[in-house]
Structures are given as structure tokens and as C-alpha cells.
Structure 1
Amino acid sequence: MSTNTNSTEKFSNLNLSKDFLSNLDSLGFDKMTEIQEKALPALLEKKDVIAQAKTGSGKTVAFSIPIVHKLDVKRFRIQSIVLAPTRELANQIAIEIRKLSRHIHNVKVLTLCGGVAYRPQVSSLFHGAHIIVGTPGRILKHINEENINLNEVDTLVLDEADKMLDMGFTEDITKIINVLPKNRQSLLFSATYQENIDTLASFVTTNPINVKNENEEKTVIEQKLYEVESSSKTSLIPALISSNKAKSVLIFCNTKIQCDELSNNLYDLGLDVLTLHSDLEQKQRDETIIFFSNKSYPILIATDVASRGLHIDDIDLVINYDIARDLETHTHRIGRTARAGKGGLAISLYNNYEDEDKIEDIKKSFDDVKFERAEYISDDLEYKIDSDYRTLFINGGKKQKVRAGDILGALTAGVGLAKDDIGKINSLDFCSYVAVKKEVVKKALDGLSNGRIKGKYFKIYEK
């Protein structure tokens, strides 16, 4: 959830039902962000909209509110379809829509993404859904095999449209659009607006309203670049972390192999690290994102799958272990440390021989880049990066009717933890995760293991 706002407009000023507004209030939404204030009036009037807004601007809420607002839950047909470039982003959009629609009973939001089992998706589609969120390739596969009926779709959303085009989804998107009803509302959200986006927008939308975040570049990101021999990069990481007293660190590598190698090397240096890339199974990727976002692990090493889309706040240090392959990706990487309107620090390690052209592009595009010398880094040997929380795994989720509120109640009323001892709670279909302060993790583990949640016993593990 993005808390940054340059707006004084409140959600209560929108023409939404009392129950909807009450739900928004319970989720902590009060004032709209800039993109929400600009886009929502037109969106709620069912107009087509083209919006330029980066991750962290509140765009997911902006396009999800009208989807939920016009949903006819009694009409058990697919009414809205949201296309996203990655599994992670699709899953997070689905979670957001479920939260925004929890005041309505029996809303079914289904994710259809590649990289996960296909047959269960076919079964879920057979039983029906109201809203589909997914990646273009997998959705097109279901269309081609006639598993999905899109005849009653009245809303189409393309999120991170520029990223989808960069990833080569243009043909898939075109084929999906060609089978959708012509009489629909179409929304296109993109971080950048280039010529290829303009071509897609003219094909997708009709008489669209154009909106743009004017103030999203105002956040201050301090950039430091260090020229380092490739063989010396890894040994420099602990000093970069300790000298900046970082508590949450995201490290980008260009390849999956490099991610795994760096992860092993940092682990040998005594650092707790997580790794995220496309070779991991979906369950591993979901867990990794949960553990890092709930502050159970302090360091995440990732490919560019984490440069956009993932809703992870309070990253105070981004390290480009490898310089990004292009300037746009570099911009998105460093932007991970400026979410929710906060500034941050981005450090890039480069080899002048290998990265000369990329460094020149960065220098031309950012006025305040600082070139520092690695030998001047002051390594604080007393500083140890650690996380305030640990995560408990609960072998029960939404399918067992276990909700976040049930887990919170079991930990507070049942175990006796204070609310401040409990961090984020993630309730998935068949399991749940709860972050608790490390000082009380044993008490929480023992209490939940010997107690009940909603009158049932569940297996509990510390992850």
C-alpha cells in the first residue's frame, strides 16, 4: 500500500457504497495518491484511461477500485481481466483485489500464470471466476485450448504495459484482445510512455483519458558508483552494508547463476540471504517475497524479476552487483529504495572496461551521481545486519477458513503477545505466514503449536 500522497482528496468523496468505503478505511486508505485522484473519477465513469505511473504510486488500487465497484457478484462469469508481465506482480494484484473486495461475499479472483501447474488452473476455470489476473502467455494458452470464456468481460487492464512489450508479449496481448468483447472499458498503466506504447494504446483503448503522475520523480535517491575489479565485488558487500547501517538490502545481479553464486558466498561470510529468480518454483518465490517483505530476512539477491512490480517497502539500500543491461532497468532497480515517497541509497559496482558505455548513460541521465573510491569505505566491524522478525509457517490457509484476523486473535488473546510483537500476516490458499518479533518467536511457536486457531489444531513451523 502506498502512503505517499500529494493530494488532499479523500476516498470518501468518491461515489462508492458505504460498505466499500468502510472497507477502504479498514485497510488504512484515507487520502488518495496523485494517480488515484487523477484517474479514479474517469475510471468510475467507465471511461478508457491511459495512465503513466510507476510502481509504488498506488496504481494497483486505482484500477482495482472500479473493477470491484462495478462487479456483479451474482453474475458468476468472468467480468474483468488484468494482464501483468510477471507471476509475482499478477499474484500481488490478485491479493490487492481480494482485499478491496472483502466487503462482498463470494468474490472469486483467479490467477493464471506460467511456471505453475496447468491442470489445476483448468479445473478452477471450469468452476468459474469473476476476475482473472495473469500473464499473457498462460492466458492465451487457456484461450487456445478453450478453457476460458471471456464473452462477458467488461473491463481489461494492462498493467506495466511497457514491461510486457519489452518482454515480447505484443503478439500474445493482441490475440487476447481480439477475442474480448469490443464494448468494454480498457485501462492501460505504464511506467514509461514510448512510441510502442502509443501504438498499443490506440489499438486497446477508445477515446481514452490520459493521466500522468507529475510529482513521482521528486523522491531523492542518492546514487554512488564504485569502480571495482570483478573479483573484489563480493568482499565489498559487507562493508557497504555496515558503513551505511542498512537493515534491508536488495542486491541485483544480471543472471540466475550469479545470484546463486553470490548467495553462497555471502552466506559463507555469515550473512542471512534470500535469492529470487525465475528458476525457483512458484512456492519458493512466494515464500521468498513474503520473508523479505515481512522483514524476516535482511538481504535479497535477485535478478530483474524484482526490479518492478513487487510491493516491498522500506528497502534502505539497493546494490547493483552487476550494472543493469539498459538505463530503464537501472532506473527501476534504484527506484526500489524510494517507495512510499521515501528517499534511499543506491550503490552500483562497475568495471570500467566492461561497463564504460552503461556508466556514461547513467552519468548523462542523473545529475547527482557520486563516484566514490572503494578503499575509502569505512567498514564497521561492530555492525551486524539482522532482522527484527522471524516467520512462522501455519499449515492452514483460506481453504481451511483461516484468515489473518484469526491468526492475530490466536497470538494476542490466545498466546498473550502484544499487537506490536506481530508483523505482517499472509494468508494463502493452503498455508499462512506470520512475522513475529524474534524475542517472542519461541513463545509464539509454542503457543500456537499447543493452541487452536478457529477451534482447530494446525502444524506450526519456524521458517
Structure 2
Amino acid sequence: MSRDDRQLANDIMPERSVGGDVVSQLDSFQALDIPAPLQRGLAACGFHRPSPVQAAAIPVGRTGADLVVQARGGTGKTLAFSLLALLAVDPTVGNPQAVILAHTREVALQICSVVRGLAKYAPEICCAALIGGRPIQADFETLLQPCHIIVATLGRLSAVEAAGKLPKLRVRMLVLDEADHLLSDSFLQSTVKIHDFLPERKQVLAFSATWPPSLLALTEGLMDRPKRVMLSAGDLDPPLAVRQFYRRVADTGEAPSDVNAAKRAELLSLLSSAAFHQAVVFCNNAAAGSALAAALVDNGFPAAFLSGKQEQSSRDAGVTGMRAFRLRVVVSTDLVARGVDLDRVNIVVNVDVPRDAATYVHRVARAGRFGTGGAAVSLVTPGELRRLRGLASEGGFDVEELTGVVPGDLLERGLRDDGDAGRLEELRALQRYVVTSGDGGGTERVLRGRVDGGVDDGAGAEGEEEDERTREMRWRWWKWRHEWFLWLKECHRLAVEARSSGEAAPSGVAQ
């Protein structure tokens, strides 16, 4: 960066740190001098006015200054660095010019989707995602084509670099998303190796919701006279619009399975009484999470389980199902705790208390994305309540006891349009008609009472009964969808086996 550019950065931001309380909202992205094609892309994606982190970070980032950015989850950090990457590239140069590192495959695909959406009216700009879980040869071939922005997981990019297939000469920007994770002990060496491999003269942008002092010093050591944009009052700030609760679960002192059963019953009760749109349920154990997801499905909630140990296709299907509003609940380990935007989620449930305050904050931030509001509920035994209070004390946030239902006013916002509202009613209807697969491959119907709003479909409730023909048609529809899903899953399994053995996939199997 030239001396003039550095002076401009100092003029824009004479102090090293800017607080969120002094950053004003701009009326439009036009005020940030965004080129017209990208403004059209922003509008097409539904973005019309920059958030505080975008209004603060984009002008400074455009000067070429290295940048450390802190803002709560769901405030628009991804859009900020995606725009900065797009603004940094020269479309006439076909080589990669910006590298964005993500901590999971799901987040990498999400970021790439955001970049492509913003570049909808700038088709000469190409973005590619390099992630594990698929043949690396495909990534080698991708990099032989014109490609301006690379979004990659750390492991896959390291493998591409080790194979000597990563073009680096024109790279002018490195973005670290969820930098506190990428620079943690487990990933520090690999992240620094990528940083050092890329050209010395590059702009480094690091974004995170949490910046412990030691990590901040480490990160700035990888930069050249960095600027800071700090929009959170502290290192551990949950979203302002998400109200945090705990609900007591009796600890019988018996086997862990008894506690798990009690929490499962409490979770079903909680979700059945809450008028939520979509939910994320977190647990610390993959086996327990899988069992919880199965219990939710058995009780009529369209749900899926996600963990880092699953095949990529299963992980993709779960995230896609939530975004397409085909699922209402996702149960996960901390795979989706960071960075994954599921913007209809307005309730988060911690079946297990997380191990540290930072993870708790990231979990809570899955609800109330972009300020829409929501609730976070932790199901706790007496011992876990002490741990939760310790995390709250460490992070400086309040958690209150929930003795009844989740307040309805916290769950009112978040749906995009009338289509979303209609889809929500369809998903709620599933809780009346639960389709389960029997041992013999057949299906059976379980008729359940209505749980949205706590209304029971009693035979004497005037206007509430559906005629038998309507019930039968609805059941047959969901039965067909369930069987179609099982067929598709089997086709995918056969295709994966065929690819791994080097044989042609069976006829009729999707490739």
C-alpha cells in the first residue's frame, strides 16, 4: 500500500479503535461509493442499507489498510469482507487475487454463494470454493480456469498448496473469517503457513465476534500497521436482540441416560409450546445429538442432525433443508455454531452447556440474525446451572430462568414474506401427521394433537376437524415424499460406492 493510501486510512480513522456507539447508519450503499454492478447485486440479494460494521469497515478496507474487525454474530461481517474482496479484484487478470479462509466447509460454501450473489451483475468476476469432502483433482482443474476469488477451508487450501497447484503471484488480499478459530492452537500453524506462502505485499483482513487480547496481538503481528474496527463493547457479547434463558432439568443422580431422557422430554415440551420458526439445538456429543434428532422426527418435527464426522453430502443436505425451509429444526454439535447463516432461526436450545463462554456466544448468535430477535434456552441440571452462571459471569451477560413458555413477542419477527408464513404452517402440520419407517420397509401414520399455540384437535372442537378425505390425502402426500427421500438417499449411497470403487454408477443413479 502506498504512503498516500496509508495517509488516507489515517484520515478516515485517526484513532486505532472505533466503538459501535459512534458509528452512524448510512442510508444506502451508494454512500459507500460502491460500483453500480455491485449495487445491483446488493439490491438483488435484499441488501439496501449498510449495517454499522459494513459502514465502518468498508471505507477503511478500501484504502488497502490491514484490518481487524470485531462485531457480534449476525451483523453483516460476511457481506463486509465479501464486498471488499470484490472491490479489490481486477477482472481483466484471470489469476486469484483474493483468498478467503473459512473454518468449515459449510461456511466456505456460504461465503462463496454470497460473493457470487453480489457479483450477479459483474459476471466477469469468478469465485470458487475449495473444500474437502470431494476429489481434490476437481479443485486443480478449477484453478486452471480464470478465477478471481478463492474461498477455502484451511485443510483443503493447505493440500492444494502442498501439491504446488495454488497460483499466488497476483493474490493481493487474505481474509480470515472467524479469525479467533483459524488462529487457535489447533489451526495456528496451518493458517500462518498459508499467510507466509502468499505474497508479502498483501492486505490482511481478520473478522471475528471475539478478540481476546493475546489473540489480537498475535493477529496484528501478521499485519502491517493494522486498523481496528471494534463494534462490540466486549470480547463476549451475545446478540442484543436475543434474550437468554435457562430451564431446570431434574438431576436424578442416576445414569447419564436418565438425564438425557429428561432433557429430551424437556426439549420436546419446550419446542411444542413455542411458536418458533426454525430452531438450532446444540449438544456436546454426536451420538446424543443423533438420538435427539430422531426423537424430534418421531414427534413430528422435520429435523436433521449435523456433525463434522458426516459425509459432506449429508451436511449439505441439512443446511440446504433449513435454508429452503424444508426443515424446522437442526440438531448439531458446534459445526453450525459459527458463521452459518440460517436467517429464519429464532430459537436456540443448548441441551448441553458449552465448554467455554466464546462457544456459548457463538451458539446464541445463531438466533436473531440481522437483529430480528429471538431466544436462547439452556437446559441445565443443578451442576450445569453453576457452570452456566460461571460463563455468564465471565462474559458479562445475563441469563434468566424460564419457568413457563418462551415469550411470544421474542419469536414474532424473522419470516421473510407471506410465502414463508405459509411454509411454516405446512411444517407445523407435520406434527399432526408423523410418518415413520417400519422394520418391514412399510410406513405407518400417527395422528397427533396440534401443538402450535397449544390447541388440541378434539372431536368436539367446532371448526377444527378436517374431514377424513382431506386427512387421508395429506397423509398420502407426506408418505410419498418420505419414500421418495429414502429412494434418493439410497441412490446417493450407490453412487458414492460406485465412485469409490471406480465403477460406473448403476443405471438411474444421479451422478
TM-score by length of 2: 0.69
Native 8 Å contact 1:6 1:33 kept in 2: no
2:299 pairs with one of 265, 269, 274: 269
Deviation at 1:158, TM superposition (A): 0.7
Equivalent residue for 1:305?
335
Equivalent residue for 2:325?
295
Equivalent residue for 2:26?
8
Partners of 2:64 and 2:402 in 1: CA distance: 51
Equivalent residue for 1:218?
240
Deviation at 1:315, TM superposition (A): 1.6
Partners of 2:126 and 2:345 in 1: CA distance: 32
The alignment partner of 1:30 has SS state of coil
Native 8 Å contact 1:221 1:337 kept in 2: no
Partners of 1:45 and 1:363 in 2: CA distance: 39
Moved more, 203-212 or 112-121: 112-121
Native 8 Å contact 1:221 1:338 kept in 2: no
Deviation at 1:210, TM superposition (A): 0.8
Deviation at 1:189, TM superposition (A): 0.8
Moved more, 269-278 or 174-183: 269-278
Partners of 2:42 and 2:365 in 1: CA distance: 27
Native 8 Å contact 1:226 1:347 kept in 2: no
2:133 pairs with one of 66, 91, 115: 115
The alignment partner of 1:316 has SS state of strand
Q: Deviations over 1:377-396 (max 9, x none)?
A: 69xxxxxx983468xxxxxx
Equivalent residue for 1:180?
198
Equivalent residue for 1:96?
114
The alignment partner of 1:323 has SS state of coil
Partners of 1:176 and 1:359 in 2: CA distance: 39
Cα distance change of structure 1 residues 365 and 269 upon mapping to structure 2, 3 Å threshold: same
Partners of 2:33 and 2:330 in 1: CA distance: 41
Native 8 Å contact 2:126 2:147 kept in 1: yes
Q: Deviations over 1:380-416 (max 9, x none)?
A: xxxxx983468xxxxxxxxxxxxxxxxxxxxxxxxxx
Paired-residue identity, %: 27
Native 8 Å contact 1:322 1:350 kept in 2: yes
Deviation at 1:160, TM superposition (A): 0.5
1:436-455 alignment, distance < 5 Å: none
Q: Deviations over 1:257-283 (max 9, x none)?
A: 111111222223333211111122222
Cα distance change of structure 1 residues 205 and 366 upon mapping to structure 2, 3 Å threshold: closer
Quick check: 1:281 aligned with 2:311? yes
Partners of 2:374 and 2:392 in 1: CA distance: 17
Native 8 Å contact 2:101 2:108 kept in 1: yes
Equivalent residue for 2:256?
none
Deviation at 1:366, TM superposition (A): 5.2
Quick check: 1:387 aligned with 2:424? yes
> Which residue identity is paired with 1:129?
C
RMSD: 2.7
Equivalent residue for 1:327?
357
2:95 pairs with one of 61, 77, 82: 77
Cα distance change of structure 1 residues 253 and 122 upon mapping to structure 2, 3 Å threshold: same
Native 8 Å contact 1:296 1:389 kept in 2: no
The alignment partner of 1:218 has SS state of coil
> Which residue identity is paired with 2:344?
D
1:369 pairs with one of 399, 404, 410: 399
Partners of 1:178 and 1:364 in 2: CA distance: 35
Equivalent residue for 1:460?
none
Cα distance change of structure 1 residues 101 and 366 upon mapping to structure 2, 3 Å threshold: same
Q: Deviations over 1:228-269 (max 9, x none)?
A: 341311112221012222231211111221111112222233
Q: Deviations over 1:415-449 (max 9, x none)?
A: xxxxxxxxxxxxxxxxxxxxxxx9xx99xx9xxxx
Deviation at 1:42, TM superposition (A): 1.1
The alignment partner of 1:97 has SS state of helix
Moved more, 360-369 or 135-144: 360-369
Q: Deviations over 1:338-381 (max 9, x none)?
A: 211122111111222466434433356455422345xx669xxx
Cα distance change of structure 1 residues 91 and 167 upon mapping to structure 2, 3 Å threshold: farther
1:178-217 alignment, distance < 5 Å: 178-214=196-232, 217=239
Equivalent residue for 1:258?
288
Equivalent residue for 1:344?
374
Quick check: 1:125 aligned with 2:155? no
Native 8 Å contact 2:74 2:365 kept in 1: no
Equivalent residue for 1:421?
none
> Which residue identity is paired with 1:251?
V
Partners of 1:277 and 1:126 in 2: CA distance: 32
Structure number, greater radius of gyration: 2
Moved more, 302-311 or 329-338: 329-338
The alignment partner of 1:210 has SS state of strand
1:137 pairs with one of 147, 155, 159: 155
Partners of 1:70 and 1:386 in 2: CA distance: 40
Cα distance change of structure 1 residues 342 and 243 upon mapping to structure 2, 3 Å threshold: same
Native 8 Å contact 1:298 1:386 kept in 2: no
Equivalent residue for 1:171?
189
Deviation at 1:106, TM superposition (A): 3.6
Cα distance change of structure 1 residues 167 and 295 upon mapping to structure 2, 3 Å threshold: farther
1:40 pairs with one of 25, 48, 58: 58
Q: Which runs of 5+ in 2 are unaligned?
A: 1-22, 252-258, 407-421, 428-473, 482-511
2:86 pairs with one of 58, 68, 80: 68
Partners of 2:391 and 2:39 in 1: CA distance: 46
Partners of 2:85 and 2:397 in 1: CA distance: 40
Deviation at 1:14, TM superposition (A): 2.2
Deviation at 1:55, TM superposition (A): 2.7
Equivalent residue for 1:449?
none
Equivalent residue for 1:21?
39
1:314 pairs with one of 312, 335, 344: 344
Equivalent residue for 2:278?
248
Partners of 1:203 and 1:360 in 2: CA distance: 32
Runs of 4+ aligned structure 1 residues displaced above 6 Å come to none
Q: Deviations over 1:150-207 (max 9, x none)?
A: 1110111111000223361100011111111111111111111113422332232211
Native 8 Å contact 1:160 1:191 kept in 2: yes
TM-score by length of 1: 0.76
Partners of 1:345 and 1:389 in 2: CA distance: 23
